[in-house]
Amino acid sequence: MRQLPENLTARRYFLKHRTSYFYSDAVTMCHERGFLSPRETPSQRVVAHGAGILPEPLLHTEHVDRFGNLSHYFEIHYPHTQFEVVKEAVIDVAWPEVDVDLLDTWSLASATRAIAGNPALRLDRAVYGLPSRHVTAPPRLASYSDTILDPDLGFGQAISELTRGIRRDFAYRPGATSVRTTVDELLDLRAGVCQDFAHLGIAVLRSLGIPARYVSGYIETIAPPGKEKLEGSDASHAWISVLAPNGSWIDIDPTNGKFADSRYLVTAWGRDFADVSPLRGIVVTEAVTSRLDVGVDVVQMDGDRLPRMQTLDLEL
């Protein structure tokens, strides 16, 4: 599961994420919280970012949450039947190569002991090593984990096997699960989407004493040969970041069976999906029906020229 050199080169991306809600009757009040700005990480630098909200909110505030993510909160206090949030950003991305050989100097068992015995990792163990709202370890999880992992595997090999194993054992099937699907239910369904596979992998790692966090972001996709990439055809994505015994974090993507590389853009991370939901809130309405439309574009830039789908006035 080695990264390809061509996927590790530095590049600049334009990101656009549009979320639109349509209601059959007026919404009289709306309180929302979301992550409308990507975060700075060792692998990416945010060159410019902005967010547009329609109707214009009465209140819009920002704060950095406990995980270091930039969180937005806003309120709309007048009637509306359509609500739209657009976020745009320009991001420089350059992920390092994962040194699997270095990671394999620890076995899975010795890595667990090293992490448990390192006082400098105490906070990470407390935050990312315990059960959370969407990540708990049902009793039968150990049986599944045993089919993939052995305590004597090298640590790098072990996280590679976990990544490939989830991709092999579970089908990618949108609609098979919901945001409320548990790890236990997923073991029966054997199908889901990226957030489900991330929750499962995190549950396995934490059950073994390895802290792991849920990462929310995007991945660049390429149109099939001979086809033009359609505007809005990308999607948000989720994967796992694993704490190594040396204190570094290794990002794995069980949906695609890969280590993260320079095609991956990070918005936020936390203990599970509940900490980093892109947009969530409360609306007051008597509408009987509603409709959600989402469009995402991840476009590799050539220099500072912004693509035509830009709608916000970003300053580079």
In the chain, where are the structural domains located? 5-93+278-300, 100-276
- Numbers of helices and strands, H then E, in the chain: 8, 14
CATH number of 100-276: 3.10.620.30
**Which residues neighbour 202 within 8 Å (Cβ) at sequence distance 6 or greater?**
135, 212, 213, 214, 240, 272
pLDDT above 90 (res 34):
yes
Nearest to 110 by CA among 153, 162, 157: 153
DSSP codes of every residue in 189-217:
H-EE-HHHHHHHHHHHHHHTT--EEEEEE
Q: What is the DSSP string of 223-254?
A: PPTT-PPPTTBB-EEEEEEEE-TTS-EEEEET
Record the pTM.
0.95
User: Could you read off the pLDDT of 250-276 as tens digits, one per residue?
Assistant: 999 999 999 999 999 999 999 999 999
Fold entry, domain 5-93+278-300: Immunoglobulin-like (2.60.40)
Same fold, 5-93+278-300 and 100-276: no
d(CA 223, CA 229) in angstroms, rounded, equals: 5
- Return the pLDDT at 232: 58
For 68-87, write each residue's pLDDT tens digit: 999 999 999 999 999 999 99
**Block residue for tokens 């950003």:** 89
230 has a pLDDT exceeding 90: no
pLDDT over 80 (residue 123): yes
CA torsion 192-298-266-256 (nearest 10°) is 40
At 315 the pLDDT is 83
Tokens, residue 45: 């630098």
Closest CA to 299 of 2, 6, 10, 11: 11
69, burial (CB in 10 Å: exposed 0-12, middle 13-18, buried 19+)? buried
For 135, counting Cβ atoms within 10 Å of its Cβ (0-12 exposed, 13-18 middle, 19+ buried), the class is buried
Calpha distance 216→270 (Å, rounded): 9
